[in-house]
């Protein structure tokens, strides 16, 4: 196994270079997440942060967690996020109008205070044992060591987590399921609706368009017995669009009939 | 480089996530900021595992990942449900109880 952690406790060399290269980039990506307007850009920045965290895990002798981070987070979770973004609408950009007045300055001040508290705490903390590193714990390989912990000491937690996963899957199915309140209109429903109307004039259906030998006649109205065009025989859309053709052109001419 | 630098990075990322949860209005972005906070906590756990020289921190980080995956699934389902009924993914619009 590649051991990037050269000197335990005081890490130096490759790991320091890696850290000082990736850590500022991930912090900038995090700040970018707060600033960018579109949710998709936020998602991409978050994916970047997750990948750099995976690299940090691997650099810290957590090979298994690094791989799982890439597979679960940047693979599955970010894919789910992007999928839901597509569903909800990609171009819904966040409005930056403050709905609660003074929220943003208060939030940023509080966050700076909180971050300052955390960092000074870490700075003051003394780890009262020598920093040992994971060389001994990982002697059988990181995945084997983790498996040993998981299936002996934490086996009950592991089982509970499996129950949690099943519950979450079921919950998501229940939440995302939408019950249709009525069945879609079928031919039978349309027929019943026609007969239940006050007027039985078109209970048998609307007249078809005129069928003439010289023309494929969806846009040519049929003729009523009086010789006038029947307005209901062609689609209202065609009529509004001006695509209706006079049917008189296609009628048998009087003189031809006489010959 | 001191190993505590990882802890500093973790604290900074956690703080950024916390700001995002408060100031962003889009529910999905808020959710992503929560994920960022969980990830920052994971980085701290992995670092603690390395400091203490045993794998328990990594086991806890592993459990955190599983719980985060569950949380994402249920949370996104809730967002989709809210979007379906209110046609909006903004956290300010879901204020029916206030009126």
pLDDT value of residue A11: 58
B86 CB near a chain A CB, below 8 Å? no
Smallest Cβ–Cβ distance between B83 and the set A56, A88, A111 belongs to A88
Task: Give residue B53's region: left, alpha or beta (phi > 0; psi -120 to 50).
Answer: left
Whether residues B16 and A34 touch (CB distance < 8 A) is answered with yes
Whether residues A60 and B20 touch (CB distance < 8 A) is answered with no
| Highest-confidence segment of A75-79, A86-90, A136-140, B22-26 | A75-79
Whether residues A84 and B43 touch (CB distance < 8 A) is answered with no
The verdict on ipTM greater than 0.95 is: no
Question: pLDDT digit string (tens) for A19-36?
Answer: 999 999 999 999 999 999
Question: pLDDT digit string (tens) for B12-52?
Answer: 999 999 999 988 888 899 999 999 999 999 999 999 998 88
B64 CB near a chain A CB, below 8 Å? no
Whether residues B59 and A178 touch (CB distance < 8 A) is answered with no
Look at residues B67, B47, B66 and name the one whose alpha carbon lies nearest to residue B57: B47
Q: Can you tell me the distance from the alpha carbon of A123 to that of A188, in angstroms, rounded to the nearest whole number?
A: 76
Q: Can you tell me the distance from the alpha carbon of B45 to that of B60, in angstroms, rounded to the nearest whole number?
A: 7
User: Whole-model pTM?
Assistant: 0.75
Q: Can you tell me the distance from the alpha carbon of B12 to that of A120, in angstroms, rounded to the nearest whole number?
A: 12
> CB within 8 A of B33, min separation 6: which ones?
A33, B16, B17, B18, B19, B20, B21, B24
Structure-token pair, residue A36: 């960018």
Q: Angle A239-A245-A246 (CA atoms, 0-180°, nearest 5)?
A: 115
Instruction: Answer yes or no: is pLDDT of A255 > 70.
Output: no
């Amino acid at each position: 196994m590649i051991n990037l952690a050269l000197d335990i406790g005081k890490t130096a060399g490759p790991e320091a270079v890696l850290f000082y290269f990736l850590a500022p980039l991930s912090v900038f990506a995090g700040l970018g997440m707060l600033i960018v307007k579109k949710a998709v850009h936020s998602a991409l920045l978050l994916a970047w942060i997750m990948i750099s965290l995976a690299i940090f895990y691997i650099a810290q002798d957590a090979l298994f967690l690094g791989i799982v981070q890439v597979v679960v987070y940047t693979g599955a979770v970010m894919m789910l996020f992007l999928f839901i973004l597509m569903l909800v609408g990609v171009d819904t950009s966040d409005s930056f109008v403050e709905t609660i007045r003074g929220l943003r300055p208060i939030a940023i001040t509080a966050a700076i205070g909180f971050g300052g508290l955390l960092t000074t705490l870490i700075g003051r903390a003394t780890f009262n044992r020598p920093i040992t590193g994971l060389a001994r714990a990982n002697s059988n390989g990181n995945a084997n060591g983790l498996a040993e912990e998981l299936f002996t000491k934490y086996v009950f937690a592991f089982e509970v987590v499996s129950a949690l996963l099943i519950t979450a899957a079921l919950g998501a199915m229940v939440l995302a399921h939408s019950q249709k309140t009525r069945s879609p209109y079928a031919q039978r429903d349309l027929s019943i609706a026609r007969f239940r109307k006050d007027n039985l004039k078109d209970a048998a259906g609307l007249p078809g368009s005129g069928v003439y030998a010289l023309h494929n006649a969806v846009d040519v109205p049929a003729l009523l017995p009086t010789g006038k065009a029947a307005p209901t025989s062609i689609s209202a859309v065609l009529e509004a669009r001006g695509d209706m053709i006079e049917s008189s052109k296609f009628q048998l001419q009087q003189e031809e009939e006489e010959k | 480089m001191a190993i505590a630098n990882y802890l500093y990075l973790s604290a900074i990322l956690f703080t950024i996530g916390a700001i995002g949860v408060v100031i962003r209005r889009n529910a999905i972005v808020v959710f992503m900021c929560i994920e960022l906070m969980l990830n920052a906590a994971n980085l701290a756990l992995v670092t603690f595992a390395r400091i203490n020289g045993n794998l328990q921190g990594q086991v806890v980080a592993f459990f955190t990942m599983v719980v985060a995956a569950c949380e994402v699934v249920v949370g996104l389902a809730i967002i989709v449900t809210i979007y379906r009924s209110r046609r909006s993914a903004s956290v300010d619009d879901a204020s029916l109880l206030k009126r």
